[in-house]
Structure 1
Amino acid sequence: MADAGVRKIDRIDVAPRFTEADAVRLNNMFRGTDTHEMLKAVLGNHMLGEVAVVSSFGAESAALLHLVASVDPATPVLFIDTFKHFPETLAYRDQLVDLLGLTNLRILTPDAELLAKKDATELRWSYDPDGCCEIRKVQPLEKALAGVDATITGRKAFQASTRNALPRFEIDGDRLKVNPLANWTKADLDAYFEAHDLPKHPLEAQGYLSIGCAPCTSVVKPGEDPRAGRWRGWEKTECGIHTPVEDNDPNLPVF
């Protein structure tokens, strides 16, 4: 991995530190590489240290999970149970885990004392969605990532204007974030689902094209971005786990 600019660490108790330069070099290294081949290199050769998939098991999640399972079904898959998910999402999660043979599902939950202190009414989503996401999503994930060097996400550039500059590799603090499907189109996803006979999230047929917590997810109207149904009525586009990617980001998408 030396030619990708990632420094080797001899001590196993010290996580490798990544920089913007590492992300840029990885984007250049895998320019033009097929998604599956890229994942084989990253996961099969342990190029990035300890890697985990972060999945909401929402619309289109099956494509990324199938790709990862085809390389290493023991890859940790982190699912944040906010206690606000649609029951259909929880059932879909269990269906995909069984179907794809994922052997390392890790279910993360918010801290009970923190919820009692900051969201005793369970209505924080209605007046402070950022604060709700912070205690129900961001903090549980951050704790779970203590020993993780890189995360894999299912984000796609076409999903929203705030993601149209999404690269395959980006820096996330001192970790790397890998977006294998960054340049996939809706047609690409549909073809992949059909080719591998993958089930779709049951709510997608009802017009839910991006599915998160039930109180903050609504049906997407014709002509809207797929993520327009998230936090409708709020100036909020991400939960805090991810941030918008600026078009002038030095780490522009390269595929």
Structure 2
Amino acid sequence: MERPDLPVPEISRARAAERATSLAAHLDRRFGRLDAVDILREAIRNLFRGRIALVSSFGADSAVLLHLVAQVDRATPVVLVDTGQLFDETLAYRDELTARLGLTDLRAAQPDAERLARFDPEKFLWQSNPELCCRLRKVEPLAQSLGDFPAWISGRKRFQAATREELPAFEADGARIKVNPLAAWSAEDVAAYRAEHDLPAHPLVKHGFLSIGCMPCTTRVKPGEDARAGRWRGLAKVECGIHTRNAMESEGSGI
């Protein structure tokens, strides 16, 4: 029975999310144990042909997933969330990998200039309200850029953080399907693949940056620390919001 107190758009989003949850569980049971490249082939060539994008940070481990996707289809849209506060090294790395792998559809998700002028005119929102900063610079732009894509590809892995330990290969993210082909990979798997294919490392990795986001909120990782310990150091924050379940649903994005 429908709840009469919910506006129609909310009911529609709830139903879409329920369908996505059911579909993701089905896809994970059917394809979740395949090798990463086979998961990508299914997702890119069959399940969501012409309707799926890779969202890449062009960070420390990004070369591996970008290389795998390029083996399947170099024309797969690749979206970088360009917050306006990325390291120059990240932008240079983006250009290097795009050229080397022959990627033909690179897109940038950028924050709305008017909203930044309103909420972050001095570019210090990361310090006073990091959650809002991430929403303005990451969550909202990505929601806009993904548009009508019913699915997208993420490079997250279970070993990266406690919040990712149960990560499936296919999951629901609001009304969309998120594909995590590297979910089961270890840090050793990533390093071995990168070495096997002679993929360049992000230039900041050699300086101790093992998880690389925006410049103000990324620090070096000390020996023995979790790879993501350098993100939002000193704050009770471990995710930017893009990968928080249904975080962008309130934006009407369908994510």
Same fold (TM over 0.5): yes
Q: Residue type matched to 2:45 in 1? A: G
Structure 2 CA distance for aligned equivalents of residues 31 and 73 of structure 1: 23
Equivalent residue, structure 2, for 1:236: 237
Question: C-alpha displacement at 1:48, in angstroms?
Answer: 6.4
Equivalent residue, structure 2, for 1:112: 113
TM alignment of 1:3-18, pairs within 5 A: 18=19
Q: Residue type matched to 1:232 in 2? A: R
Structure 1 CA distance for aligned equivalents of residues 181 and 137 of structure 2: 26
Structure 1 CA distance for aligned equivalents of residues 32 and 107 of structure 2: 32
Structure 2 CA distance for aligned equivalents of residues 96 and 89 of structure 1: 10
Question: C-alpha displacement at 1:113, in angstroms?
Answer: 0.8
Q: Determine whether 1:69 maps to 2:70.
A: yes
Question: C-alpha displacement at 1:108, in angstroms?
Answer: 1.6
Equivalent residue, structure 2, for 1:147: 148
How many residue pairs get aligned? The number is 230
Equivalent residue, structure 2, for 1:226: 227
Equivalent residue, structure 2, for 1:29: 30
Q: Which runs of 5+ in 1 are unaligned?
A: 1-14, 245-255
Question: C-alpha displacement at 1:24, in angstroms?
Answer: 1.1
Equivalent residue, structure 2, for 1:194: 195
Higher helix share: 2
Identity %: 55
Alpha-carbon contact 1:18-1:176 (below 8 Å) kept: no
The secondary structure found in structure 1 opposite 2:59 is: coil
Query: TM-score, normalised on structure 1?
Result: 0.87
CA-based RMSD: 1.6
Equivalent residue, structure 1, for 2:86: 85
Q: Determine whether 1:123 maps to 2:115.
A: no
Structure 1 CA distance for aligned equivalents of residues 149 and 33 of structure 2: 27
Question: C-alpha displacement at 1:138, in angstroms?
Answer: 0.7
- Distance change in 2, residues 1:64/1:132 (3 Å): same
Question: C-alpha displacement at 1:23, in angstroms?
Answer: 1.0
Q: Residue type matched to 1:238 in 2? A: E
The secondary structure found in structure 2 opposite 1:66 is: helix
Equivalent residue, structure 2, for 1:7: none
The secondary structure found in structure 2 opposite 1:151 is: strand
Question: C-alpha displacement at 1:40, in angstroms?
Answer: 1.1
The secondary structure found in structure 1 opposite 2:91 is: helix
Q: Determine whether 1:172 maps to 2:173.
A: yes
Structure 2 CA distance for aligned equivalents of residues 16 and 125 of structure 1: 31
The secondary structure found in structure 1 opposite 2:172 is: strand
Structure 2 CA distance for aligned equivalents of residues 127 and 72 of structure 1: 42
Structure 2 CA distance for aligned equivalents of residues 129 and 136 of structure 1: 10
The secondary structure found in structure 1 opposite 2:79 is: strand
Equivalent residue, structure 1, for 2:9: none
Q: Deviations over 1:123-146 (max 9, x none)?
A: 000111101001111111111112
Structure 2 CA distance for aligned equivalents of residues 48 and 160 of structure 1: 31
Q: Deviations over 1:137-157 (max 9, x none)?
A: 111111111211001010011
